[in-house]
Structure 1
Amino acid sequence: MCIKIVATNWSICGVCENLQITKQSVVWCSECDEGLCGECKNHHAVSKASKSHETVFITEYKKLPTEVLQIAQTCKLHIEKFELFCRKHDCPCCKKCVKSHNDCKSLTDINELTKNIKTSNAFYEFEQILLEVIENIKRLNTNRKENLTLLENKKREIVAEIKQTRINVNHHLDKLQDDLIKELMRVEQKEKSKIEKLLTTLKTKEKEITEVQENIASIKQHASELQTFLTIKNIEKDIAGEEKFIQSITTSDTTNQINISCQINKSLQQITASVQKFGEINVSSDQCDFSIQKRKDRQSQIMVALPTRNIKNLSLTLQKRINTELSEVYGCSLLPGDMMVFSSSFDDRIRVLKSDGSKDFEIKTIRQTFDVVFIGNDSIAVTSSNSNQISIIDLKKQKLKKSIKVNSYNGGVVYNDGHLIYCAREKGIQMISLCDETVTNITNTKLTEYSYVTKFGDKLFYTNSDNDSVTCCDYHGNILWTFCDTSVHAVSTRYLCRQ
């Protein structure tokens, strides 16, 4: 369990306060855990002991969530900095704390855990879990609203049936008809109220998770590495609770598919004095087919769904020939409506073809075009082999939408869930978010200029023309296998077909 204490007074310079001087602080140093005035800030920036410390303006630091600001970065018992993290007890430790963790074999240097945490795959996975939880809440909302619509439609059908039957009977059955409709309204309202109550709860949960997402952006920009790490540990517990809550809902009868029906009294066909009811309203409850989507579950489903086929039994059939009229086509991608896009490094252009192979349009303003991939929203991304720019093209407007600057030349590229995964030469495989343009390293394996990458299921596959190889890894960069065949000409491993 993490220990929380209230942080030092941000508005007062900690150094000056120790000298019995009161000065307003302008920046905050998380390493020193104190504010600094303008003069002390300058000394702090050149001091050998603190020049590597990162500072943030007080006005920005105060924007961090309260629970982040209250996280202690020093041991409350020993007043020393945390240096280790005990995985067994899920808590940080200082050197003196180690005495009470003698039996713990999972003590880890906390600097190793917090290093580059904001750009790590673990942090990316954490953000994806948040997105996943809120997406599940939205899907639950949609599911329940659809049930409301079904109830409304069924109600209208039943009312129509009742009234149609009523046309064939005498006027003395008016009271029986009214009683049946009232019962229908009562039952429908009762079931409707149950669903609306659940929707209200889900809306509250969605708002809470949304607030956590908003806080994450601030934490990512302004919190220290340690604060970020410890905050994540705290939020993970809350998210686990929310996931259990959603799981409990889907396994309870509150998400059963509610239906209503009506059974008209057949005796009405031969009206007698014994008929006392116009019909009956029945409520049936079928188990909801809603299932929570989880990243690990989806990966397992993908793995199970992959067919086992022997390559020797595969046969190829020529479907169509396309004349691109381009030289040195290095990239291609299929577009909606059976359209196609090709990139030519020699001609410095991309060309979009219609389904019949005729030219739709082309763009010549991108230099050294390499690979191209469809990213949804009527857009494509184009990499440049001798540039650190990735271009986003609007297919509807047929022009450049924006350019994204990355820290390397870029080659083969594939799109996955709001991110571009591309070959970054000596930097290996990198992934950039199209939302906030943050870059994450997947693997540091040095690649050639003519390397390509694609995905299939939960795996990535990339080529290396220098050693005639194709490598398979997961999204964390863990290599699963590498296939090499030196008898194959290097050019053959330059291209890698997409799924």
Structure 2
Amino acid sequence: MASNPSVCGVCEHRHVTKPSVVWCSECDEGLCEDCKEHHSFSKATRNHEIVLIGEYMKLPAKILQIAQFCNKHNEKYELFCRKHDCPCCRKCVEDHNRCNDLTDIRTMIHNVKSSAAFQEMEHALSETAENIKRVRINREENLTSLAEKRKIVELEIRQFRNKINDYLDELQDKILKEIKTVEEKESNKIRQLLTSLMQREKEILEYKDSVENTKRYASNLQSFIAMKHVEKDIIKEEIYIQSICKSEQLHQIDISYTMNTALQELATTTKTFGEVIASFTACNIYIQKRRNKQAKIIVPPSTNHFDNVSLKVKQTIQTKLPNVCGCTFLPDGKMIFSCCTSDQVRVLKPNGSYDFDLNKIGPVLDVVYIGDNSVAVTSGGTVGSKQINIIDVKNRKVKKTLKVNSANYGVVFKDGKLMYCAGEKGIKMVSLGDESITSISTSKMSEQANVATHGDKLFYTNVINDNVTCCDFHGKHYGHSAKAVL
């Protein structure tokens, strides 16, 4: 930080100590109540972005330490060098005289918090946290399976031990200790990896909280530079995850027991009860990978008109269903389609071939993926269908039913909540955590209504007046486009 945020920077230059009440990101200093008023009326500063000092101090320490002035020349950043991926002041241009890609930094930071690059960074954080969580869960499950397999081996040993004489007591103790030693040895390896994974998972979640506060309270410049820092850390985490997946650390460890055939002859010279083997198989965890080329800079919005967009068929899927009402995709590429006439959900493989059907789950309309190998299926507006089923696709069964007390048609999922078209009751939102229901919009919806999200906005169709309406998650409308095609 350029100055002490708790003290008014203007008064401090006059050798007067007064507490600041707001922070000006462009001046990079705090302002007291009197200076704040002068700051807001001055022609040079009236358009500056200010934030309450209490809210500014909520920013993470790393964000507060981001300099908004050039450390070398003590001048404000005015340009951004795309070649070196760094901000520059006017004097820095001398060091970048061979760089042909210098851009006005105001263009770069304009709407940075709602830019595709910022959203990509937030998505990458969530994706990285999810990948670490998957690896951690896999290791925990392997710990459990090791213990269970150890019990199975012990039972086999004891059953055989009961058929022979007391001479084998010593050998039995030896083999049990060996099994325990192998389990402890391999379990310790997994625990060491789990400790590292949980620490990284905690750090990623802290990053997510930091990004949220940055998005809310930091200046555009701070947000932009912070985004660059976080992207580099994300790349490190991705490399770490991929290195684990390629190493032997994620090999599935198992314990098996090979009986010594000499025991069947009750030979008194037998010196071992058998052999304990720790076997390894490569893991089958699906790790989400970000696209190779990511948004490194903020690109001005396209001037192409919608009418000039041309569509090209990439793949045709034969669902063989009489009436497809909804579809969604799983992270592994599988496709899920819902059929309202036959009340079934069909799962197809990534290549479009049949996998399996889910039947006898009640009325079916739309379907959406909600994570953890689960989908939410709405039930339309028929009598007795005021519910949304949560289906475990892996185990092929309904694992939870949400009573929503209204019709439910098109549905979308975001941040642990389902937003669905509720017919005459508008758009509703139900939390998967506590199952609480809130109303987003009271506008009457048709049975063919669908809803989608983009950023912090909702878009829903209305067949009654042939339009698409945009609103936020609190129901505030931002207009609509006419002649929507359903």
Whether these two folds match at TM > 0.5 is yes
Instruction: Provide the C-alpha distance between the structure 2 equivalents of 1:394 and 1:52, rounded to a whole number of angstroms.
Output: 40
* Structure 2 residue aligned with 1:339: 363
Q: CA separation of 1:213/1:92 partners in 2, compared to 1, >3 Å: closer, same or farther?
A: same
TM-superposed deviation, 1:123? 1.5
Q: Give 1:11-410 correspondences, 5 Å limit.
A: 11-296=6-291, 308-309=315-316, 317=322, 337-340=361-364, 358-360=383-385, 372-373=410-411, 375=413, 380-382=419-421, 390-392=427-429, 401-404=437-440
Letter in 2 for 1:204: Q
* Structure 1 residue aligned with 2:481: 447
1:422 to 439, 459, 463: 459
Alpha carbon RMSD of aligned pairs, Å?
A: 4.3
Equivalent residues of 1:12, 1:25 under 8 A apart: yes
TM-superposed deviation, 1:164? 0.9
Per mean C-alpha deviation after superposition, the further-off stretch among 287-296 and 152-161 is 287-296
Q: Can you list the C-alpha shifts for 1:339-375, whole angstroms capped at 9, x where unaligned?
A: 2569xxxxxxxx9658xx5454599x99xx9974264
Q: What is the percentage of aligned positions where both structures have the same residue?
A: 41
Equivalent residues of 2:470, 2:477 under 8 A apart: yes
Q: CA separation of 1:392/1:169 partners in 2, compared to 1, >3 Å: closer, same or farther?
A: same
Instruction: Provide the C-alpha distance between the structure 2 equivalents of 1:191 and 1:431, rounded to a whole number of angstroms.
Output: 53
- Secondary structure of 1:447's counterpart equals strand
Instruction: Provide the C-alpha distance between the structure 2 equivalents of 1:380 and 1:202, rounded to a whole number of angstroms.
Output: 33
Q: CA separation of 1:28/1:208 partners in 2, compared to 1, >3 Å: closer, same or farther?
A: same
* Structure 1 residue aligned with 2:393: none
Equivalent residues of 2:417, 2:429 under 8 A apart: no
Q: CA separation of 1:126/1:321 partners in 2, compared to 1, >3 Å: closer, same or farther?
A: closer
Instruction: Provide the C-alpha distance between the structure 1 equivalents of 2:359 and 2:52, rounded to a whole number of angstroms.
Output: 47
Q: CA separation of 1:74/1:189 partners in 2, compared to 1, >3 Å: closer, same or farther?
A: same
TM-superposed deviation, 1:274? 2.6
Instruction: Provide the C-alpha distance between the structure 2 equivalents of 1:160 and 1:136, rounded to a whole number of angstroms.
Output: 36
TM-superposed deviation, 1:203? 1.0
TM-superposed deviation, 1:75? 1.3
TM-superposed deviation, 1:200? 0.7
- Unpaired runs of 5+ residues, structure 1, are 1-5, 300-305, 323-333, 343-350, 452-462, 464-494
Q: Give 1:448-467 correspondences, 5 Å limit.
A: 448=482, 450-451=483-484, 463=485
TM-superposed deviation, 1:294? 2.2
Q: Can you list the C-alpha shifts for 1:132-152, whole angstroms capped at 9, x where unaligned?
A: 111111111110011111111
Number of equivalenced pairs:
404
Q: CA separation of 1:229/1:384 partners in 2, compared to 1, >3 Å: closer, same or farther?
A: farther
* Structure 2 residue aligned with 1:484: none
Letter in 2 for 1:213: K
Equivalent residues of 2:380, 2:408 under 8 A apart: no
- Secondary structure of 1:103's counterpart equals coil
TM-superposed deviation, 1:317? 4.5
Instruction: Provide the C-alpha distance between the structure 2 equivalents of 1:36 and 1:413, rounded to a whole number of angstroms.
Output: 49
Instruction: Provide the C-alpha distance between the structure 1 equivalents of 2:190 and 2:385, rounded to a whole number of angstroms.
Output: 50
- Secondary structure of 2:276's counterpart equals strand
Letter in 1 for 2:11: C
Letter in 2 for 1:402: T
- Unpaired runs of 5+ residues, structure 2, are 295-312, 324-338, 343-357, 367-377, 388-402
TM-superposed deviation, 1:419? 7.3
| TM superposition score normalised by structure 1 | 0.70
TM-superposed deviation, 1:316? 7.6
- Secondary structure of 1:259's counterpart equals strand
Equivalent residues of 1:383, 1:413 under 8 A apart: no
- Secondary structure of 1:250's counterpart equals helix
- Secondary structure of 2:66's counterpart equals coil
* Structure 2 residue aligned with 1:346: none
Letter in 1 for 2:251: N
Equivalent residues of 1:250, 1:291 under 8 A apart: no
* Structure 1 residue aligned with 2:372: none
TM-superposed deviation, 1:11? 2.1
Instruction: Provide the C-alpha distance between the structure 2 equivalents of 1:440 and 1:215, rounded to a whole number of angstroms.
Output: 29
Q: Can you list the C-alpha shifts for 1:88-137, whole angstroms capped at 9, x where unaligned?
A: 21210012211211221222221122111112232222111111111111
TM-superposed deviation, 1:424? 8.7
Instruction: Provide the C-alpha distance between the structure 2 equivalents of 1:214 and 1:74, rounded to a whole number of angstroms.
Output: 26
Equivalent residues of 1:29, 1:53 under 8 A apart: yes
Q: CA separation of 1:198/1:421 partners in 2, compared to 1, >3 Å: closer, same or farther?
A: same
- Secondary structure of 1:422's counterpart equals strand
Q: CA separation of 1:130/1:198 partners in 2, compared to 1, >3 Å: closer, same or farther?
A: same
Letter in 2 for 1:414: V
- Secondary structure of 2:459's counterpart equals strand
Instruction: Provide the C-alpha distance between the structure 2 equivalents of 1:9 and 1:75, rounded to a whole number of angstroms.
Output: 18
TM-superposed deviation, 1:412? 5.6
Letter in 1 for 2:420: A
Per mean C-alpha deviation after superposition, the further-off stretch among 72-81 and 124-133 is 72-81
Instruction: Provide the C-alpha distance between the structure 2 equivalents of 1:390 and 1:62, rounded to a whole number of angstroms.
Output: 37
Letter in 2 for 1:373: V
Instruction: Provide the C-alpha distance between the structure 1 equivalents of 2:288 and 2:127, rounded to a whole number of angstroms.
Output: 7
Equivalent residues of 1:130, 1:209 under 8 A apart: yes
Equivalent residues of 1:352, 1:359 under 8 A apart: no
Equivalent residues of 2:408, 2:420 under 8 A apart: no
Letter in 1 for 2:411: V
Q: Can you list the C-alpha shifts for 1:465-489, whole angstroms capped at 9, x where unaligned?
A: xxxxxxxxxxxxxxxxxxxxxxxxx
TM-superposed deviation, 1:414? 3.3
Per mean C-alpha deviation after superposition, the further-off stretch among 17-26 and 105-114 is 17-26
Instruction: Provide the C-alpha distance between the structure 1 equivalents of 2:452 and 2:363, rounded to a whole number of angstroms.
Output: 18
